[in-house]
Amino acid sequence: MPYKLRVFLLTALLIALPLMGYSAGLSKDFQILENKFQQGDIAGISSLLPTAKANNDEDRALQLYLSAMLKKTENETISSLQQAANLYPKTYYGQMSILELAKYHILKREINQAEELLHKITNVQLIEKFYWLAYCADSKSNYDKAISYSENYLRMTSDNKYLENTYYIIANAYRKQGKYQSAISTLEKLKKIEGYPKNEQYFYYQLGYCYQLLGNVADAYQNYKKAFELNHNSPLAFMAEDKLFELRNRYNPSLDLSFLYPYTTLDIPGLIQPEITIPPAASIIQDLPLKLENRPETGYYVQIGCFSSEANARKRTEEIRGLNISAIYFEDKNKKNTPWVVASGPYSSIAEAETLKSILAQKSVDSFITRY
């Protein structure tokens, strides 16, 4: 069995039972096995299960359910769960097997098969099915159903296993429907629950995005900023960073983004840097767009970098402008792997370009001169 899939199945089986009720009608040996399962005692289950005698359907369903946990291959695990589900569908562990099979299909992105199985679960103790039905509905863009199933889960559950994720499903559904204020209200409800949100960075990014869609730039800015500051090096931080630049470029050019790149001056006693006058062409022109629609055709340019993604090129352009030096970026379709070019120019002479190259070097920015 693939490692990730086996970990998923074992984890799902191990955490499922403590959150549910006990199965009624188990014989003594299987009550002991169920207790060991509750305690996560895999060795104890492995030792007792082969000799335990099943006396009724509840026993036999649990026997197959636990056997699935001990199997070494994906096919064997799924086969044991299917036997329990098919032979003893009305028993507690037959129903639990159906739930685990549904989660397996979700893992495989087989949403229709998962939904079909989830609708077969009738045991009132298995409230978790509503969370997964909400997940499936959200995956299929059935947002009204996603909200309804999520609310059922939140109303009936007595544990917090999927509480935060459920609020995110509801907020996402409202957002996709264009109901941005409802999405914000949903996230704020989560924030009012003690100990939540657990995933703060994701929470504040989502809240910022909803405020942006609502047109509230100030609150979008504050939430994106908080998301970024929680962990500068995470993928979500880079996403928040892109959104912050988007806010500034599209809505408010005066937004302070200095916290993204806190440059400090290197002060070395006795070191005197010669002053170099920035050539006029390197001065920032207020109306100059960040992005050129076409590759330059004439002039000398100081090329500062090439990037595979436009977002990174835009970020580097902003950095250079933050040094009070004019910079633009554009797409050079002749460059297959790194088509997005960041440069400063055009300059009328190579001497002007050399002057700027020296200034950039003093600021620890590598560059070279090119001509179009």
Q: Give the tens place of pLDDT for each residue, 31-61.
A: 999 999 989 999 999 999 999 999 999 999 9
Both tokens assigned to 372: 């179009």
Both tokens assigned to 117: 């199985």
Q: What is the pLDDT of residues 141-156, one digit of tens each?
A: 999 999 999 999 999 9
Taking residues 325-349, what's their average pLDDT?
Answer: 84
Beta strand segments in 183-339, E: 300-307, 328-331
| Residue 108 CA, distance from chain mean position | 18
Phi, psi of 54 (to 5 degrees): -80, 130
Residue 245: partners with Cβ closer than 8 Å, 6 or more residues away: 257, 314, 315, 318
Phi, psi of 14 (to 5 degrees): -70, -35
Look at residue 219 and tell me whether its pLDDT is greater than 80. Answer: yes
Confidence of residue 19 (pLDDT cuts 50, 70, 90): very low
CATH topology of domain 280-371: Alpha-Beta Plaits (3.30.70)
Q: What is the pLDDT of residues 82-137, one digit of tens each?
A: 999 999 999 999 999 999 999 999 999 999 999 999 999 999 999 999 999 999 99
What's the pTM? 0.67
Taking residues 250-268, what's their average pLDDT?
Answer: 75
Domain ranges of the chain: 1-126, 280-371
Q: Which pLDDT score is estimated for 285?
A: 52
Look at residue 339 and tell me whether its pLDDT is greater than 90. Answer: no
Contact (Cβ atoms closer than 8 angstroms) between residue 164 and residue 200: no
Taking residues 25-29, what's their average pLDDT?
Answer: 93
Confidence of residue 293 (pLDDT cuts 50, 70, 90): confident
Phi, psi of 67 (to 5 degrees): -60, -35
d(CA 140, CA 292): 39
